[in-house]
């Protein structure tokens, strides 16, 4: 019996794994039961209940694969696979230099793996070009948090604190489907009529506001920023701001007050479609719940719907500005937070996978940070490369000629960008032009199928390590079963490759040793894990920063001061802007993308679980019946969606809970059903976040002979 945590989202629900005594020790006999952990309180979603099945799917990778002269992937030994990688790298370095190699990591890697991958890129490969799929997750919230508070932690308080609030404003997060066990933490606000949900769809979460449990604000996609400016206008104009809090703890109030003065509710109604009286009601509900006005507490929470935009950092900055105006951050029972998506999206960026960061959330451009980390690694600081580029920019380098600054070799660990990246068809074409593509994965994902070398690696129940949840809590993951023969841990892979590449620093494949090194490397940084050990994480509720073995950890940051040099928060004025790919005659509908209950991320794992696949086998496009009638589309028939970038196909589903000018498509599916064939790679200038959440599309029936022929022709060209 092994206590561990779910491998999926950032709730990191507590679970217990049991191998019955009369059976073998493989995953097919592994029993999953929930345990009483604060985030899930004994509950699991469908993905958690079926998580062990992924470990024994029929096409589980159990041997390395090499692409042969015939163009196909063939089984190979580990010796041959590692030799192919090192030989390919040496050829590329000789011809093009170290910067012709890139690395793309994942938010599901343990802290030890995320840390080692960053070290491997900078010390063994000596390339600046590393980033990870967390760039697609909450990078806008991270950027906004850093500039407002001086620190980025998804929730700067325990999730359980939400239960005592009178009001919660939830922007762009459908927790009822993405992290169902979290719903219990919203129940208090809902019972008190204070659950406020902002979403262009009537999602399962938005429906929780029925029966006077709260309000659903249903704005036009891409106008969350205008909505937030309008809410802040009401707070200031109608005397709802906590002026004493602002005087004591916040700078920049005057500039924000002047900016929001122009966003009166009637103007916001014209831009967003949200009625002015509803906007005022929402502002008054939040203000009445704020501690400064005698309320039990209020929270402003953002998710991907508010963040995955070309102006996502400004949108989250406006959300933080609203929270500050109400006097919430750093006050017990109130605050601002971001609902991190991926299992280790928080720890994954803290310790070296991000293009510009070293362990401890240190800047790679800071000489003191470079000197500290180089000393821990035992290398000259001058050896470490400088900052790289965010993921979308990194991917634009992939496959280009090295003479133009292109990347000729790419390592992919814990990600499936052929499905998950914006403008995915263009990325797929670029990956095919690489000289060397190395993919480490559990299954032959769509990205792995393009690789020159595929490495079979261990998964959550087959390894030990730590994860950092959306609360900043460091959690111990314990090994429950042995991996299949032929499967290796990525820590072992990087150790072997580093040795073959004559890296100037040692690499360990023992997660306890790696965590101890990570603790030293992060010590003194913003995300200080100096006092963290696997043993402490197992027995204690341990939140970073935790700088020493004697330190109890910090479940609630900002109570006394913010992490800025003077301890005061910064309110920053932001201006509204239109979406980058707006409506036009040939593309008259907005496409928004997101998740469904049964699937996770690119779907590479959940699409292989029979119970989850049966619930939703294919991509759907949700539209209003009025829209469908106008377009001559029958429910259950194939639909063709066309953006400036590509064409995708999905099955029509009708809902009166979606705006007539909007269609919704989940992003979990492959081939022509990829929503991210359509999405816009335009990025936020501060965070590098792509504008996943909105683009203009044309929608038409594909259930005609001519449409079917056109799709067949496009498939042939692809």
Distance CA 229, CA 215 (A): 18
Q: How far is C-alpha 356 from the chain's CA centre?
A: 17
**In 275-428, beta strands by DSSP E:** 298-302, 335-338, 357-358, 362-363, 409-413
Lowest mean pLDDT among 7-21, 84-98, 184-198: 7-21
Residue 477: is its pLDDT beyond 80?
A: yes
Question: Between 593 and 22, whose confidence is greater?
Answer: 593
27 or 552, higher pLDDT: 552
**How does pLDDT run across 443-476, given as a tens digit for each residue?**
999 999 999 999 999 999 999 999 999 999 999 9
Longest dimension (CA), the chain: 73
| Measured distance CA(33)–CA(285) in Å, rounded | 39
For residue 573, cis peptide bond before it (omega within 30 degrees of 0): no
Q: What average pLDDT does this structure show over 521-540?
A: 96
Q: What's the topology of domain 139-338?
A: Dimethylsulfoxide Reductase; domain 2 (3.40.228)
Cα angle 347-594-11, degrees, rounded to a multiple of 5: 35
Rounded (5°) CA angle 465-466-470: 150
The structure tokens 């496959």 sit at 399
pLDDT band at 713 (very low <50, low <70, confident <90, very high): low
- The pLDDT-based confidence of 712 (bands split at 50, 70, 90) is low
Interatomic CA distance for residues 637 and 652, integer angstroms: 6
Which residues on neighbouring strands pair with residue 215, listed in sequence order?
196
Return the CATH number of the domain spanning residue range 589-717: 2.40.40.20
| Measured distance CA(198)–CA(596) in Å, rounded | 18
Residue the block writes with tokens 């779910």: 6
Predicted pLDDT of residue 709: 55
Tokens matching residue 555 = 């479940």
Residue of 21 and 201 predicted with greater confidence: 201
User: What is residue 318's DSSP assignment?
Assistant: H
pLDDT of res. 29: 72
Q: For residues 146 and 559, is the Cβ–Cβ distance under 8 A?
A: no
Instruction: Decide if pLDDT at 695 tops 70.
Output: yes
Alpha helices in 12-102 (DSSP H): 46-49, 78-96
Closest CA to 443 of 333, 603, 318, 573: 603
Tens of pLDDT, residues 153-177: 999 999 999 999 999 999 999 999 9
Arithmetic mean of pLDDT, 201-230: 96
B/e letters for 82-105, b = 16+ CB within 10 Å, e = fewer, are: bebbbebbeebbeebeebbbbbbb
Rounded distance, CA 597 to CA 360, Å?
34
Query: For 250, how many CA atoms within 13 A lie in the half-sphere containing its CB?
Result: 27
Looking at CATH, the fold of the domain delimited by 65-136+344-457+466-474+496-506 is given as Rossmann fold (3.40.50)
Euclidean distance between CA atoms 496 and 499, whole angstroms:
5
pLDDT score recorded for residue 715: 52
- Does pLDDT of 320 surpass 50? yes
Given this model, what pLDDT does residue 473 score?
A: 97
Nearest Cα neighbor of 202 from 543, 514, 592 is: 592
pLDDT, one tens digit per residue, over 22-77 is 555 555 678 999 999 999 999 999 999 999 999 999 999 999 999 999 999 999 99
Instruction: Please give the mean pLDDT across all residues of the chain.
Output: 95
- Range with the poorest average pLDDT among 227-241, 305-319, 693-707: 693-707
Percent of the chain surpassing pLDDT 70: 97
Q: What per-residue confidence (pLDDT) applies to 268?
A: 98
Question: φ, ψ for residue 193 (rounded to 5)?
Answer: 75, 20
Q: pLDDT band at residue 705, thresholds of 50, 70 and 90?
A: low
Instruction: Provide the residue ranges of all domains of the chain, joining segments of one domain with +.
Output: 65-136+344-457+466-474+496-506, 139-338, 589-717
Q: What is the average per-residue pLDDT within 515-541?
A: 96
Find the mean pLDDT for residues 406-420.
97
Cα 35 off chain centre by: 25
The pTM score is 0.95
Task: Spell out the SS3 assignment of 139-167.
Answer: HHHHHHHHHHHCCCCCCCCCHHHHHHCCE
Mean pLDDT of 17-25: 70
pLDDT of residue 341: 81
| pLDDT over threshold 50, residue 244 | yes
Is residue 219 pLDDT above 50, yes or no? Answer: yes
Query: How many CB atoms are located within 10 Å of the residue 549 CB?
Result: 11
Block residue for tokens 């029925």: 210
For residue 22, the model assigns a pLDDT of 55
Q: How far is CA 98 from CA 386, 400, 682, in A?
A: 13, 15, 28
Lowest mean pLDDT among 90-94, 302-306, 492-496: 302-306
């Amino acid at each position: 019996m092994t206590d561990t945590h779910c491998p999926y989202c950032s709730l990191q629900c507590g679970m217990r794994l049991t191998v019955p005594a009369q059976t073998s020790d493989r995953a097919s006999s592994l029993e999953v039961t929930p345990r009483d952990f604060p985030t899930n309180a004994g509950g699991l979603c469908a993905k958690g209940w079926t998580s062990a099945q992924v470990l024994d799917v029929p096409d589980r990778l159990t041997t390395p694969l090499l692409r042969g002269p015939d163009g196909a992937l063939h089984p190979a030994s580990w010796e041959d696979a590692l030799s192919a990688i090192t030989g390919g790298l040496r050829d590329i370095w000789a011809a093009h230099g170290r910067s012709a190699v890139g690395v793309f990591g994942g938010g599901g890697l343990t802290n030890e793996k995320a840390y080692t991958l960053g070290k491997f890129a900078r010390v063994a490969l000596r390339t600046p070009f590393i980033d990870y799929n967390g760039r697609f997750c909450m990078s806008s919230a991270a950027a906004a948090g850093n500039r407002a508070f001086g620190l980025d932690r998804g929730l700067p308080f325990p999730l359980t604190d939400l239960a005592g609030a009178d009001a919660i404003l939830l922007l762009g997060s459908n927790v009822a489907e993405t992290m169902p066990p979290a719903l219990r933490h919203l129940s208090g606000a809902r019972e008190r009529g204070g659950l406020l949900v902002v979403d262009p769809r009537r999602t399962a979460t938005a429906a929780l506001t029925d029966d006077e449990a709260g309000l659903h604000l249903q704005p036009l996609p891409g106008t969350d920023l205008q909505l937030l400016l309008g809410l802040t206008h009401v707070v200031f104009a109608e005397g709802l701001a906590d002026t004493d809090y602002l005087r004591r703890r916040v700078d920049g109030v005057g500039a924000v007050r002047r900016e929001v003065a122009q966003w009166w509710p009637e103007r916001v109604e014209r831009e967003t479609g949200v009625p002015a009286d509803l906007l005022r009601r929402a502002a008054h509900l939040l203000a009445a719940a704020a501690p400064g006005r005698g309320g039990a507490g209020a929270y402003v929470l953002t998710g991907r719907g508010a963040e995955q935009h070309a102006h996502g950092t400004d949108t989250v900055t406006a959300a933080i500005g609203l929270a500050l105006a109400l006097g919430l951050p750093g006050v017990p029972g109130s605050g601002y937070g971001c609902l991190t998506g991926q299992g280790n999206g928080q720890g994954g960026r803290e310790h070296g996978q991000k293009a510009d960061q070293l362990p401890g959330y240190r800047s790679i451009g800071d000489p003191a940070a470079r000197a500290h980390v180089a000393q821990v690694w035992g290398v000259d600081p001058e050896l470490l490369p400088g900052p790289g580029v965010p993921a979308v920019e990194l991917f634009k380098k992939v496959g280009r000629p090295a003479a133009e600054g292109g990347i000729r070799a790419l390592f992919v660990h814990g990600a499936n960008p052929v499905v998950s990246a914006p403008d995915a068809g263009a990325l797929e074409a670029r990956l095919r032009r690489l000289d060397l593509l190395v993919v480490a994965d559990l299954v032959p994902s769509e990205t792995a199928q393009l690789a020159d070398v595929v490495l079979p690696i261990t998964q959550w129940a087959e390894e030990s390590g730590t994860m950092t949840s959306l609360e900043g809590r460091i959690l111990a993951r314990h090994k429950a079963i042995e991996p299949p023969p032929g499967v290796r841990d990525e820590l072992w892979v990087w150790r072997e490759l580093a040795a073959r590449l004559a890296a100037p620093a040692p690499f360990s494949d023992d997660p306890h040793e790696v965590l101890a090194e990570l603790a030293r490397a992060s010590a003194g940084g913003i995300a200080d894990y100096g006092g963290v050990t696997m043993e402490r994480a197992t027995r204690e509720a341990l939140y970073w920063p935790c700088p020493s073995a004697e330190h109890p950890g910090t479940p609630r940051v900002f109570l006394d001061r913010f992490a800025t040099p003077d301890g005061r928060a910064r309110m920053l004025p932001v201006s509204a802007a239109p979406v980058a790919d707006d409506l036009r005659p040939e593309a008259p509908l907005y496409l928004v993308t997101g998740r469904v209950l049964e699937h996770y991320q690119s779907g590479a794992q959940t699409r292989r679980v029979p119970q989850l696949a049966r619930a939703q086998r294919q991509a759907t496009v949700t539209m209003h019946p009025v829209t469908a009638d106008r377009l001559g589309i029958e429910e259950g028939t194939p639909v063709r969606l066309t953006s400036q970038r590509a064409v995708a196909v999905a099955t029509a589903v009708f809902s009166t809970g979606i705006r007539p000018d909007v269609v919704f498509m989940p992003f979990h599916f492959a081939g022509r059903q990829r929503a991210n064939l359509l999405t816009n790679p335009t990025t936020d200038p501060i965070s590098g976040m792509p504008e996943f959440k909105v683009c203009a599309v044309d929608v038409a029936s594909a259930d005609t002979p001519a449409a079917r022929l056109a799709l067949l022709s496009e498939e042939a060209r692809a």
